[in-house]
């Protein structure tokens, strides 16, 4: 079934490429010019709201900088949403900003003063999120909100996946995380396809290597979340060995989670923990019902 999906995906990509050819330079795209900010955490400052420091009664400080990445902007309001479970609150951190870049630093008390959801140290709960964005006024008077007042996202994947700017930045109430590096892996798993021979499905204790790249704030790019398991099944699907996909996992105080695409167009969910000995254990399952367990041990 996955092989058929892959063939259709390839044909669709080819047709899309052909349809995108112009007619010799006379075609025009109907584009509407807009504007976006670039909001980034200041390098060298905390990427999370450190729950451990708050629980110890200590202060915390976060800093982010905002500039205009694209478009003609008259002014912007720097806004922030604090999410606590299903509850959320929006506040304005700076109004009618016209000079960029602008750097804002917030302490623990600043957050308590600005958000009614926070009244004391005890109100900072694991998993709470502070999301910073901007409301823009363009030079022609058009108002642009990147996040609606109800907290929902008001932009598409072309903006959210852009690598040259960040229209929002998020701080998670979490614990410091330092999982980046190279790991040896031991994985076991099974495929729902009928193709594998008995010695190929299920697989037990397959060894490989995996790299976690630190993105900050407990987020990591994992070079191969399947820890080599798909390599053993390549001949079933007719794919050249080496067709791996990376993914993103998140460490929140020792709890590992992730949700990302898999090689055949489905989605994979990851759940796991960081163990006391520093190893990482997680399970994954995809939309097709394939599943695996992985144990990562950091290379010293």
pLDDT tens for the chain, 300 residues long, are 454 444 434 333 333 443 444 433 332 222 244 789 999 999 999 999 999 999 999 999 999 999 999 999 999 999 999 999 899 999 999 999 999 999 999 999 999 999 999 999 999 999 899 999 999 999 999 999 999 998 888 888 788 778 899 999 999 999 999 999 999 999 998 877 765 555 566 788 989 999 999 988 888 999 999 898 877 766 556 655 555 678 899 998 899 999 887 777 788 999 999 999 999 999 999 988 989 999 999 997
CATH 2.60.40 residue spans of the chain: 36-174
How big is the CA angle at 249 (ends 243 and 255), to the nearest 5 degrees? 140
| Side-chain half-sphere exposure of 259, counting CA atoms within 13 A | 1
Confidence (pLDDT) at 126: 92
Q: What is the CA 44 to chain-centroid distance, rounded?
A: 20
What pTM, to 2 d.p., does this model score? 0.66
CATH classification (class only), 181-298: mainly beta
d(CA 93, CA 114): 8
Contact 290, 189 (CB under 8 A): yes
Confidence (pLDDT) at 215: 87
H-state helical runs in 161-220: none
Contact 28, 155 (CB under 8 A): no
Q: Residue 79: CB partners within 8 Å, gap ≥ 6? A: 90, 91, 92, 93, 132, 133, 134, 135, 147
Which of 259, 238, 237 lies closest to 248, judged by CA?
259
CATH classification (class only), 36-174: mainly beta
CA distances from 145 to 43, 138, 150, 244, 272 (A): 26, 11, 11, 37, 36
H-state helical runs in the chain: 2-19, 51-55, 108-114, 157-160, 234-237
Q: What is the CA 15 to chain-centroid distance, rounded?
A: 30
d(CA 21, CA 202): 45
Confidence (pLDDT) at 235: 57
Confidence (pLDDT) at 240: 59
CATH 2.40.128.120 residue spans of the chain: 181-298
Confidence (pLDDT) at 160: 76
Confidence (pLDDT) at 22: 41
Which of 254, 59, 111 lies closest to 174, judged by CA?
254
Confidence (pLDDT) at 194: 63
Confidence (pLDDT) at 101: 96
């Amino acid at each position: 079934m996955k092989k058929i999906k892959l063939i259709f995906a390839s044909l669709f990509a080819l047709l899309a490429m052909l349809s995108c050819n112009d007619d010799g330079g006379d075609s025009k795209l109907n584009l509407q010019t807009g504007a976006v900010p670039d909001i980034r955490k200041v390098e060298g400052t905390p990427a999370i709201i450190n729950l451990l420091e708050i629980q110890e009664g200590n202060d915390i400080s976060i800093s982010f900088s905002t500039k205009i990445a694209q478009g003609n902007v008259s002014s912007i309001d720097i806004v922030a949403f604090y999410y606590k479970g299903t509850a959320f609150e929006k506040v304005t951190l700076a109004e009618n900003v016209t000079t960029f870049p602008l750097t804002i630093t917030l302490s623990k008390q600043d957050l308590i003063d600005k958000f009614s959801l926070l009244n004391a140290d005890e109100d900072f709960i694991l998993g709470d999120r502070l999301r910073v964005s901007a409301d823009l006024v363009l030079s022609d008077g058009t108002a642009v909100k990147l996040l609606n007042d109800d907290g929902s996202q008001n932009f598409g994947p072309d903006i959210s996946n852009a690598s040259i700017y960040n229209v929002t930045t998020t701080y998670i109430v979490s614990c410091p995380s330092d999982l980046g590096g190279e790991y040896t892996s031991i994985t076991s798993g099974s495929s729902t396809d009928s193709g594998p021979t008995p010695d190929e499905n299920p697989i037990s204790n397959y060894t490989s290597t995996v790299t976690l790249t630190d993105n900050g704030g407990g987020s990591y790019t994992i070079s191969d979340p399947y820890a080599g398991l798909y390599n053993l099944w390549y001949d079933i699907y007719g794919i050249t060995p080496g067709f791996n996909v990376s993914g993103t996992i998140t460490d929140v105080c020792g709890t590992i989670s992730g949700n990302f695409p898999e090689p055949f167009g489905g989605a994979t969910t990851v759940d796991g923990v960081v163990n006391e000995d520093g190893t990482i254990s997680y399970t994954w399952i995809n939309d097709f019902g394939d599943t695996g367990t992985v144990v990562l041990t950091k290379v010293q």
